[in-house]
Amino acid sequence: MIPALRRYARALARDADIADDLVQDTLVRALRSERLFLGGDVRSWLYTILTNLNKNRRRSLARRPQFMPLLENNPDASGTEAESRDIARALSTLVEEQRAVLLLVMLEGLSYREVAEIQGVPIGTVMSRLARARAHVKASLEGERPALRRVK
């Protein structure tokens, strides 16, 4: 479970240290919480905590200038470096909710229903976020300048 959480966090937050901070905070919160004892799906619940922590983190950063790393310092093992930078860059142009949906469905393999519960929205909203995210990333990968339209 922890390796998968780290993968999701890395894709969500880009920066490896921030990503592991998120995972650590998620685990600490999970271990501190007693909600687990009410039952439910632990996997979804951990993704929910991490998604929310990242949302909160970004919210608290929103009022400050943001610095992006100039270079990804973790080129992947497979695939070309340029390709991986492209997908990472394409992800970074997505609004938060869309990036989370895209990663949870396409990378982590969660169902629409699970993602709807994680984000606290109807399944229809998940589907429209996913459709917009895919269109946006596709355009970005194909070299179009992505429209920085903020859509909910």
Q: Which residues bind other proteins (CB under 8 A)?
A: 1-4, 6-7, 10-11, 17-18, 20-21, 23-24, 27-34, 36-37, 39, 42-43, 56-57, 60, 76-79, 83-84, 86-88, 103, 105-107, 111-112, 127, 130-131, 134, 137-138, 141
Q: Between residues 64 and 149, which has the closer beta carbon with respect to other proteins?
A: 64
Q: Between residues 100 and 105, which has the closer beta carbon with respect to other proteins?
A: 105
| Least distance (Å) between residue 33 CB and other proteins | 6
Q: Between residues 138 and 152, which has the closer beta carbon with respect to other proteins?
A: 138
CA neighbours within 13 Å on the CB side: how many for 142?
Answer: 7
CA distance 145 to 14: 20
* Integer angstrom CA distances of residue 98 from 28, 53, 84, 127, 148: 26, 16, 19, 10, 13
| Least distance (Å) between residue 16 CB and other proteins | 8
| Least distance (Å) between residue 14 CB and other proteins | 11
Determine the Cα angle at 49 with ends 43 and 55, to 5°: 135
Residues 6+ apart with CB under 8 A from 143: none
Q: Between residues 17 and 150, which has the closer beta carbon with respect to other proteins?
A: 17
CA distance 98 to 69: 21
